[in-house]
Chains A and B, each alone.
Chain A
Amino acid sequence: MATTRILEGLGRLYIGLLLAFLYLPIIIMALMSFNVSPFYQLPFEWTTEWYASLWQNDQLIAATWNSLEIAILTTIISVVLGSAASLALFRYEFLGKKVLQALLFPPIAIPWLITGTAMLIFFFGVGIGRGLFAILLGHVALALPYVIVVVSARLQTFAPELEEAARSLGANQWQVTVRVTLPWIMPGVIAGGLFAFAVSFDQFVVSYFLSTPGQTTLPVEIYAAIRKGFTPEINAVSTIIIVVSMALMLLTARFFKFGGEK
């Protein structure tokens, strides 16, 4: 029994070390955004000037707006299209259904480097070119499989008899969907939407290949800045991004259990 307790204690300690490994760099990066020295020198002196200078950086602000617009549009489009597709895959049996479900995995599994360069070649070839519209096209395609997988998982817990009951009480197909099915799968739809937002807002690789100097997103702009040299301004904008996306995922976790236990 004593060994068990020692082993459990070691296990807890180990998890603590892992969490330190995961979070310390991020915390240090965030602290440096509040440090006076532009060369990250210690001792630490508090300032918010780097956040103030972000405010003056028009290029970065424009890229932030682009990122937000694209993320919001991606969320709306992929949630609507993805939920519709999940409903169809849940309700109906037809030939080739397995193939359609299997087709959702290549976009998730293939490295973004390959997807991104392929999109660049194709969009250029057919005349869509690069820019914000191309980025939106790409982001929705990347987010759709996630939305469909998440909403479908929620649909697995739905009892089709509820739709039967509503129909036998005289509801038409539209009423059944809006009044019965949709409220039930709503947690899945919201979680799918938050996933879609995160996929788009944090997306770097695909945006990188599809952006042009004027039409770019925040991560692409940050990458360009990092390659020019490190400045506390990058720390400031990075801190804002990381706080936003972590808050978003905490919100997602409220609607969707990752652990699969419930």
Chain B
Amino acid sequence: MAAQSATASRSGLRSALPLLAPAYIWLTVAIFLPLSAMVFFSFMTDLPLSGKPWAFTLGNYAAFFSQSLYLTLLLASLRLGLEVTLWCIVIGYPAAYVLAKVLKGRSREAIFLLVILPFWSNGLVRIFSWAMVLREGGILDTALNAVLPFKINIDLMYSYPAVIIGLVHSYVPYMVLTCYLTLQAIDDSLIEAGRSLGATRLQVLKRVIIPLSMPGLVAGAALIFVPVVGSFMEPRILGGRTGTFYGTVIEDQFVAVFNWPLGAALSFILLAVVLVILAIASPVLRRAA
């Protein structure tokens, strides 16, 4: 054993297998088999375990395509994902730029940590905290009425903007993180070179900084868009009755209506959409890595 020099050349798979097997068996049982089972169940009329008779059917998919409701909701969720992603870019990119290129040393480290810290705290709690701010008689309402000379009623709670605000708050740290990583890697001398050759600040931004940070923007966009399209808890809490989206309909199939096969079909359609989006984003991401 000791005679062999490079670790890499030692008989690969047989030595690796005992170390790898437990983790990958676990992933198979809890992730990959369930995803396959979901595809299988989506073609059934009923669950085989419930004792009731079942048969194979395309009905669950036919339901999606024949009733415009599901397609409308999927489009609404895709639009929600797009809007939230755009707001995250508008808000997050400048912040990432300031972090990467303006702040330095310890203050940069501390502020960077502060920006991504909420991201690792409970998402449900953060959505709940917006309910405190947005509801009628909430903080926003009270504060604005204290400042303004006339009486206004701000009741954003249970509206589409409330859902957008909550989701942007939840996901903007992702965009700051991914853009910061690519912006930080841009050599300052490239920016200086552009400036000394006579380019304006705006030209440098458009021709040098944005193209070079594109991988971070795309990574952030993919990381935000995908979970937002599948969100259901945020629209439920902040959207109320206006908060019906594709995700909430899937939730209903599993916890209220108990039509699991239809839920599985709807989930699988969402998975297909998500995979297409990740596939579109992946060339840009691979170039970054």
Contact = CB atoms under 8 A, between A and B. Distances in A.
B34 A29 contact: no
A27 to B, nearest CB: 9
B233 A85 contact: no
A144 B26 contact: yes
A154 B10 CA distance: 22
Interface in A57-103: 81-82, 84-85, 87-89, 91-97, 100, 103
A246 B121 contact: yes
A222 B270 CA distance: 27
A26 B118 contact: yes
Contact of B278 (A93, A109, A163, A204): A109
B147 interface: no
A173 B2 CA distance: 10
B122 A219 contact: yes
* Band of interface residues on A: 35 or more
A112 B251 CA distance: 12
A249 interface: yes
Nearest to B97: A11
A249 B173 CA distance: 14
B23 interface: yes
A258 B112 contact: yes
Interface residues on B, range: 35 or more
A219 B274 CA distance: 26
Given A26-B129, A122-B38, A258 B16 contact: no
B245 to A, nearest CB: 11
B22 A84 contact: yes
A217 B102 CA distance: 43
B122 A245 contact: yes
Nearest to A239: B125
B201 to A, nearest CB: 8
B75 interface: no
Contacts of B9: 93
B111 A122 contact: no
A112 B226 CA distance: 10
Contacts of B12: 92-95, 97
Contacts of B109: 259
B203 to A, nearest CB: 15
A178 interface: no
A202 B67 CA distance: 36
Given A15-B111, A21-B169, A23-B118, A202 B123 contact: yes
B41 A204 contact: no
B20 to A, nearest CB: 5
A242 interface: yes
Interface string B228-248: 011111001100000000010
Interface stretch (A46-54, A182-190, A226-234): A226-234
B276 interface: no
Contact of B128 (A41, A112, A238, A252): A238
Contact of B131 (A18, A230, A259): A230
B274 A260 contact: no
A113 B247 contact: yes
A53 to B, nearest CB: 18
A12 B98 contact: yes
Given A28-B129, A112-B230, 15 more contacts: A19-B114, A25-B133, A41-B137, A88-B20, A92-B13, A113-B247, A114-B230, A114-B274, A118-B34, A118-B37, A118-B267, A125-B41, A141-B29, A222-B125, A250-B113
15 contacts: A25-B133, A92-B7, A92-B15, A96-B13, A103-B27, A111-B230, A114-B274, A118-B34, A119-B30, A141-B30, A173-B1, A202-B121, A209-B254, A238-B122, A245-B120
Which 7 A-B pairs have CB atoms at the shortest separation, nearest pair first?
Answer: A111-B230, A94-B12, A141-B30, A29-B129, A122-B34, A88-B19, A11-B98
